[in-house]
Structure 1
């Protein structure tokens, strides 16, 4: 670039813009040339047309005459319309015409901002080249309920969330309505991402991925479902190991979701909690990996024997709005109870309320503690201890659920992972420097 500036002086930027426009037009035109077909029904524009359109855009912009870019855009539009009116095909389409008009604008943009024009050309070319893939996605892969759920998620994020009050509300236990709505959106987004992951991975993802994604909603329910499947097949040790691995991955999801909740409600707390969360999730994941290896050794197809009925039903629908609403209602109720216990009984009442609430669900007391810490009602140390207490109390529920649903062997494997992740996380907390 330095030698070009020395050679061309003040015109170096203009030349770079022209080169970017030339390359952009040629790139888009090359893709259209390969797709224009043969014979009388071929597309009217190809490599040369698109390159010339980009150069026209660069020229009209480079001359810096008022209104010249608009006149050029009108000329390109009229020429494109004339060419399409003379086509013999029964379905003229608009993709090439729109691409030609966009190429003209990209050429004009390259003169002013080549670092924006070049990526725009690459994006346009990629979109044009992906025609068959996009058509297959829209007509074969994308289900109607997935489209509806995607529209619902977009409406909640772009319309409802900005309207939520951002100040703490007493009837929500000091939580912000916007934060509560954000948590609900987070749950729905995780459900959608999990659904996409299962669709992309296919049945080979098996029980492990299903357990991880199910744990983002309810680790206890996931353990119960996988435990029931393991109990149904006592003569298949490989499948039992795969079910236990999926259940353990649901406990890893609990750590990760707790971290995400803290990041959404109390970023300062998340900055201190992340080593504990990653330690707990990684230790659980290590045990699940060992069980998977054991399952593959015993029977290489065990991990592909299918997904439990509740999880299979969940994977067919991207969003489970009813569950997200119930979790949001639970978060509100627990937040009220924990806030009342803190005001009435102090820290002892706070921990009692957290422990009792965590027997039913670990996420609700974690969110309540984060809201209290964000409003400066409790310190970071109290929050860290409360979160670990919530996860420990919920581990009791998950262990009993594993025993009742899957039997002694299944419960022993799940309990080992729970104890290891909790123990290592507590050691990580002790190893962290004390707060000033």
Structure 2
């Protein structure tokens, strides 16, 4: 046997040893958790740390031998032993009803066997799976409390709705752009609906964890990096249906507009660092005014009614599908209008093209202009103008979205803040010329 063959054998042996070690560790980890719940005496459960460790190591050895039939027979043996253990655990003294011990330990024993098999194939994945299984078993009380006490029926319904839209319907929607839809793909509009609903869900989670005021404000800030328009829509829908939280929802929406200016600065930093000194002062002014109005909206309204905060999650779920569909339809209409304008008038210049594109999205034209600056086609002053026009024109779409989703008062608040932040950015641009 030459040196190459010896190295191959040594590598194979080392890989098998690593896999068996992963299987052993998985069995010990899961078995340790089950041993703590096993109990003592005659009423103790059937499987503990030794049984789980042996099951995992047995699965690893069967896989290491490279015998698929042996792996299958080992799995069948574990299933049979688990069935016997479950049957024995249901025995009761004469005249007493049979207890219901549950199937968790028996299922965990079979899964531990599979984790041992997986550990030999992919040690890292097997070890990760063992940690997940052990964590699920250890979190029994918390998971039961979450499912039966913390999670309302309406929230469960909305979670299933969001999962169905994202995992079932979205992949089935056509992904090819359609000319009659302004070159927009139906999947893009459907993705907008899913995004809005996901942002509503994220805001609801933040609200439950941090309270109405801080939770919605923080949710709006981070959601603004994804889509300020979608954030304004989701916050507006919540403000319309829950008037007691209108001020907090408005603050979250305004914080999302601050994130828009931050993202403009980040795009310039990544794609056109030489122009950052020109764009940064205007972007900073926009951030300060948007964040300032958001902070005022968050704290000037006083404390929120505790009764409303306590009962909101139980009365209805966080998702507003009707408003999400309305915003997607609005964005589709904007796309059709942009396509019509381009066919009629063409691209009469960088700023006109930016203004048209920014009606649908503010960041895309900024990113395009920043990339062109890197190639020398756009100077720093022109990039600054592109950023101002893009955010300013997109402010019109966001203001209209605010009126559609949240009503007149909410729309006026969002529109006033956008006007102030955009005006401040423009003023700084004129002063620093």
Match status 1:253 vs 2:256: yes
Question: For the residues of structure 2 that align with 1:307 and 1:324, how far apart are their CA atoms?
Answer: 27
2:16 maps to which residue? Answer: 14
Match status 1:131 vs 2:140: yes
Aligned with residue 218 of structure 1, among 214, 232, 237 = 232
Deviation of residue 366 (structure 1)?
2.6
Residues 71 and 420 of structure 1, relative CA distance in 2, 3 Å threshold: same
**Most deviating of 116-125 and 339-348:** 339-348
Question: For the residues of structure 1 that align with 2:290 and 2:307, how far apart are their CA atoms?
Answer: 19
Are the equivalent residues in 2 in contact too, given 1:220–1:398 (CA < 8 A)?
Answer: no
User: Helix, strand or coil: the match of 2:133?
Assistant: helix
Residues 215 and 140 of structure 1, relative CA distance in 2, 3 Å threshold: farther
Match status 1:330 vs 2:365: no
Are the equivalent residues in 2 in contact too, given 1:54–1:108 (CA < 8 A)?
Answer: yes
Deviation of residue 93 (structure 1)?
1.3
Question: For the residues of structure 2 that align with 1:175 and 1:405, how far apart are their CA atoms?
Answer: 32
Are the equivalent residues in 2 in contact too, given 1:14–1:111 (CA < 8 A)?
Answer: yes
2:3 maps to which residue? Answer: none
1:78 maps to which residue? Answer: 80
Question: For the residues of structure 1 that align with 2:124 and 2:210, how far apart are their CA atoms?
Answer: 36
2:321 maps to which residue? Answer: 321
Aligned with residue 360 of structure 2, among 360, 365, 373 = 365
2:393 maps to which residue? Answer: 390
1:195 maps to which residue? Answer: 204
Question: For the residues of structure 1 that align with 2:387 and 2:305, how far apart are their CA atoms?
Answer: 40
The alignment yields a C-alpha RMSD, in angstroms, of 5.3
Are the equivalent residues in 1 in contact too, given 2:178–2:184 (CA < 8 A)?
Answer: yes
Residues 369 and 195 of structure 1, relative CA distance in 2, 3 Å threshold: same
2:94 maps to which residue? Answer: none
User: Helix, strand or coil: the match of 1:317?
Assistant: coil
1:122 maps to which residue? Answer: 131
Question: For the residues of structure 1 that align with 2:394 and 2:158, how far apart are their CA atoms?
Answer: 31
1:283 maps to which residue? Answer: 288
Residues 90 and 270 of structure 1, relative CA distance in 2, 3 Å threshold: farther
Are the equivalent residues in 2 in contact too, given 1:246–1:288 (CA < 8 A)?
Answer: no
TM value normalised by structure 2: 0.69
1:233 maps to which residue? Answer: none
How many aligned residue pairs are there? 385
Q: 1:363-402: CA deviations, max 9, x gaps?
A: 86338987xx8xxxxx9979756522314556988999xx
Q: 1:107-131: CA deviations, max 9, x gaps?
A: 1222232111111111110111111
Residues 81 and 172 of structure 1, relative CA distance in 2, 3 Å threshold: same
Are the equivalent residues in 2 in contact too, given 1:223–1:247 (CA < 8 A)?
Answer: no
Are the equivalent residues in 1 in contact too, given 2:209–2:215 (CA < 8 A)?
Answer: no
**Most deviating of 195-204 and 391-400:** 391-400
Residues 18 and 330 of structure 1, relative CA distance in 2, 3 Å threshold: same
Are the equivalent residues in 1 in contact too, given 2:233–2:327 (CA < 8 A)?
Answer: no
Which runs of 5 or more residues in structure 2 are unaligned? 1-5, 92-97, 369-376
Deviation of residue 333 (structure 1)?
1.5
User: Helix, strand or coil: the match of 1:193?
Assistant: helix
TM value normalised by structure 1: 0.69
Question: For the residues of structure 2 that align with 1:17 and 1:215, how far apart are their CA atoms?
Answer: 49
Are the equivalent residues in 2 in contact too, given 1:21–1:54 (CA < 8 A)?
Answer: yes
Question: For the residues of structure 1 that align with 2:23 and 2:238, how far apart are their CA atoms?
Answer: 60
2:30 maps to which residue? Answer: 28
Question: For the residues of structure 2 that align with 1:223 and 1:417, how far apart are their CA atoms?
Answer: 23
Are the equivalent residues in 2 in contact too, given 1:54–1:106 (CA < 8 A)?
Answer: yes
**Most deviating of 87-96 and 178-187:** 87-96
User: Helix, strand or coil: the match of 1:366?
Assistant: coil
2:57 maps to which residue? Answer: 55
Aligned with residue 186 of structure 1, among 184, 195, 198 = 195
Match status 1:161 vs 2:164: no
User: Helix, strand or coil: the match of 2:102?
Assistant: coil
Q: 1:299-334: CA deviations, max 9, x gaps?
A: xx945556999xx69995221110011111111222
Deviation of residue 218 (structure 1)?
3.2
1:234 maps to which residue? Answer: none
User: Helix, strand or coil: the match of 2:45?
Assistant: coil
Residues 137 and 117 of structure 1, relative CA distance in 2, 3 Å threshold: same
User: Helix, strand or coil: the match of 1:67?
Assistant: helix
Residues 224 and 346 of structure 1, relative CA distance in 2, 3 Å threshold: farther
User: Helix, strand or coil: the match of 1:365?
Assistant: coil
Deviation of residue 92 (structure 1)?
2.9
Question: For the residues of structure 2 that align with 1:193 and 1:383, how far apart are their CA atoms?
Answer: 32
